Amino acid sequence: MKAVYFEKAGKEDVLVYGDVPDPKIGPRQVLVRVKAIAINRKELMARERGPAEGVPFVIDGSEVAGVIEAIGSEVKDRTVGQRVVASVPTGGYVELLAVHRAGTVLLPDTLSFEEGASIPNVFLTGWYALVKLARIEAGETVLVQAAGSGVGMAGIQIAKYFGCKVITTAGSEEKVAKARQFGADLAINYQEKDFVPEVMAFTDGHGANVCQECVGGDVLIKSIQALGHLGRLVVVGNASQSPVPPDLLRRLGS
């Protein structure tokens, strides 16, 4: 089968489109004919680092959508021909993917393969952050940073689904407009306005109940400042790769 992999560190030009052996499935796995893949920041970072010492090449990719071509002997609730979304630690940039049945979810006919492949990482991250950790409730105000990112767009939709008021930030008017389409009650262009006073004005000085943060650096500090009393901050990334001061909360008076 064909696969996309890299043998050394670099940009897009180090990617190789070549032949690798077809996978064999175990008793609890299914074989998926991949129709679409998603690309995530962690994969770009992995490519820029290159393979670990002693590893000849890396096939990256952690979320795909496709059609089941074969099922393992112990798989009872999947059938050949079903459309699925699959999530794997790595190895998704392939034509055929062997994946544990538990790593698949049926894809409705109303969603394209491209839409399906874009779901796992960002929506599972957003759901875990906002629902499992922050335990958002209807009526709360949720600040979602980086509306233009996948996890940002997912966070907006998840918070609205739970009946929350959503404030979000983005770096362009195009992204601000898109955030409003996804349901944001207040979308702030951080290139033009400081979002902290905007959040305070929107909440009548109380601050946000919850913040989903993925940027780091100054945005992390301001996100804490934008929270209200007993506000919950959930950090799901550090896109700026800025170091976090170990005494950050102490310096901010918390």
DSSP code string of 152-181: HHHHHHHHHHTT-EEEEEESSHHHHHHHHH
* Rounded distance between C-alpha atoms, residue 184 and residue 164, angstroms: 10
My answer on whether 22 and 72 are in the same domain is yes
Over residues 179-216, the pLDDT tens digits come to 999 999 999 999 999 999 999 999 999 999 999 999 99
pLDDT score of 241: 85
Residue owning tokens 């894809």:
107
CATH number, residue 25: 3.90.180.10
pLDDT at 254 over 80: no
Q: Kindly tell me the burial class for residue 36, based on how many C-beta atoms sit within 10 Å of its own C-beta (0-12, 13-18, 19 or more).
A: middle
**Contact status, residue 208 vs residue 141, Cβ threshold 8 Å:** yes
pLDDT score of 212: 98
Of the three residues 117, 142, 163, the one that is the final residue of a domain is 117
My answer on whether 58 and 96 are in the same domain is yes
**Contact status, residue 143 vs residue 174, Cβ threshold 8 Å:** no
Q: What percentage of the chain has pLDDT greater than the value 90?
A: 92
My answer on whether 10 and 108 are in the same domain is yes
My answer on whether 95 and 159 are in the same domain is no
Q: What tokens does 159 get?
A: 């918070």
Domain count, the chain: 2
pTM of the model: 0.88
Of the three residues 65, 91, 117, the one that is the final residue of a domain is 117
pLDDT score of 252: 65
* Rounded distance between C-alpha atoms, residue 32 and residue 64, angstroms: 9
My answer on whether 58 and 162 are in the same domain is no
My answer on whether 93 and 135 are in the same domain is no
Domain that holds residue 139: 122-251
